[in-house]
Amino acid sequence: MPQGSETRSDGAEQAPGNAPAGGNTRRGLLIGAGLAGIAGLAAACGGTDDGGEAGDSNGSGGSTGGARPNGGGQPQGGGREIAKTADIPVGGGKVFEDAKVVVCQPAQGQFKAFSSACTHRGCAVGSVSDGTINCHCHGSKFKITDGSVAAPPADEPLPEKKITVQGDQIMLA
């Protein structure tokens, strides 16, 4: 059997000059087209809807309902109540982890709120005492009057948060 003009791909290299590069290229194109087709099929099949498991939502209401004021005449776009004025000691403050704020009352009837994220490395501040908001991670302290640094290593003040006081409720804007 003569191996004349047929090109065979038995693995070994063909004789120089008699092996056109077109054979490999054509095969590559065919393989590429096949892969593209498979990819297309896979994409088309991606959206099967299994229906999922029937999700009983018994008791999964979250905890949003707690302290909602029942005042009908609240201003629109208002925030949410985070504390009662009576909760905040004069000359002190309180950290509200959920709301990520610390609310202070530097003077009677004067309320301020700051982000509870320490500006040093981002720990949540842990307490308010002796006129300062204290971060327990590395010891930074911030003044309750304006959030400025009272003790390093933090070197930037706590950002102030906007609050409004309506009656005995402190609302986070």
Q: Among residues 99 and 123, whose Cβ is nearest to ligand FES?
A: 123
Q: Residue 118 interacts with ligand FES (CB under 6 A)?
A: yes
Q: 82-118 burial, b if ≥16 CB within 10 A, otherwise e?
A: bbeeeebeeebbbbbeebebbbbbbeeeebbbbbbbb
Stretch that binds ligand FES, among 32-40, 60-68, 100-108, 119-127 (CB under 6 A): 119-127
Q: Residue 153 interacts with ligand FES (CB under 6 A)?
A: yes
Q: Residue 134 interacts with ligand FES (CB under 6 A)?
A: no
Contact pattern from residue 70 through residue 89 relative to ligand FES, giving x for each residue in contact according to CB under 6 A and a dash for the rest: --------------------
- Binding ligand FES (rule: CB under 6 A), the pick from 74, 120, 131, 169 is 120
Helix (H, G, I), strand (E, B) or coil at 27: helix
Token pair 């999700």 in the structure block, residue:
55
- Binding ligand FES (rule: CB under 6 A), the pick from 79, 99, 123, 157 is 123
Nearest of 62, 24, 130 to residue 142 by alpha carbon: 130
